[in-house]
Amino acid sequence: MDGETLTVRTPAVRQSHRLLLVGDAHYATDDARGEPFRRYSARMSGGPRDMGDLRKDLERGRKAGCEAALFLGDMLNFPSEAGVEQLTDVIAKAPLPTYYISGNHDWHYEGLPGTEADLRREWVARRLKPLYRGHDPMAYAVRLGELKILMVDDSTYEILPAQLEFLRRELANGAPAVLAAHIPLHLAWRRGDIFFGVGHPDWGAATDPYWEFERRERWPEGGHSQTTLAFWREAWATPNLLGVVAGHIHTQSVDAFDGRFQFVLPKRTPRQLLVQPA
C-alpha cells in the first residue's frame, strides 16, 4: 500500500491494470418526490446531497490512468428518485467506464416490511435499475483486456444460487479475476469481526447487532445458506481469483495471504488498485 494505491504484483497478468475504487459515499440526495418516504429515510437523511465531489474523483482517476471505476455499494443512503437520477447522470457522464453494484443502504428504506431479499428485489427493479446500464444487477463480468472483474451483489450477506453459478462459470477458464462486492468475505483471522460477513461461521440472528436500529428483519436463526458457504469456499479456493475489493466496513484494511488479497475501502474516500506483472 502506497498512499491511495494498493499494488498487487502477480505472474497471472502480462500488463498493468489500474482501477479506481469508490464505495460508501452515502449520498442522501432527495427532493419533494421523497416526501411519502420520509419516515423511512429520516435517520439516513444527513449525508451529502450534491455529487460534485464524486465527479471530481472520477476525473482524477482518469488523469491517474485508471481503466475503469468500480462503485462498490452504499453510494446512496436510500433509493430516492433524486439520488438515483443524479448517480445515473454521474455514471453516464463519467470520463472513464464506471460500473456499479448495490450496497445494503442503496435499496433500503428503513422500516419498510419485508425480507431483505424481497426489498432488494423490489427497489432494484423500481429505482436502481438504470445504474447498471443493462447489466444483471446481481452479478456481471467486465473484461479489461486479460483481467476479469466480477461484480457481485452480496448486500444481504447472502449469495443466490445464480450468483454461485456465475462465479463458477466466470472462473472456469482460468483467466485472472478480481471479485468486486460490497460486503467483505470472511477471513479466519478476522473471526471477531462479524461484518467481514460473507461466509462467517458465526453470522446469524445471535450476532446481528443492528436489526432493531436499522428497522429491518433480523439475520436468519440458522446462519448462512449452503449456497453462501459454497461461494465463500470456492472463491478462496480458486487460484485465478487474485483477490477481493469491498467496502461496508468504513475502515480501510488490506489482507494478503496465499498469493491473494482482500482490500476494504474507507468510507467516502476513493482508492486505486494497481495490478502489475510480477
Residue 108 has a pLDDT of: 98
The position carrying cell 433509493 is 79
Q: Which residues pair with 141 in a beta bridge?
A: 150
**Torsions phi, psi of 168, nearest 5?**
-60, -45
Strands 17-22 and 271-277: antiparallel
CA distance linking residue 141 with residue 132, whole number of Å: 12
Q: What is the pLDDT of residue 255?
A: 98
pLDDT of residue 172: 97
**pLDDT for the residue 123:** 98
Distance CA 119, CA 262 (A): 28
Residue length, the chain? 278
Helix (H) / strand (E) element for 70: namely strand 68-71
SS (H, E, C) 79-112: CCHHHHHHHHHHHHCCCCCEEECCCCCCCCCCCC
Distances (CA, A) of 183 to 50, 245, 257: 25, 9, 19
Instruction: Name all domains of the chain by residue range, CATH numbers in brackets.
Output: 5-277 (3.30.750.180)
Q: What is the pLDDT of residue 259?
A: 92
Q: Let me know: does 130 contact 174? Beta carbons within 8 Å.
A: no
Tell me, what's the pLDDT at 278? 96
DSSP conformation class of 28: -
**pLDDT (tens place) for every residue of the chain, 278 residues total:** 999 999 999 999 999 999 999 999 999 999 999 999 999 999 999 999 999 999 999 999 999 999 999 999 999 999 999 999 999 999 999 999 999 999 999 999 999 999 999 999 999 999 999 999 999 999 999 999 999 999 999 999 999 999 999 999 999 999 999 999 999 999 999 999 999 999 999 999 999 999 999 999 999 999 999 999 999 999 999 999 999 999 999 999 999 999 999 999 999 999 999 999 99
> What is the reported pLDDT for 24?
98
Phi, psi (rounded to 5 degrees) for 219? -55, 155
In angstroms, the CA 20 to CA 33 distance is 32
β-pairing verdict for 241-250 and 177-180: parallel
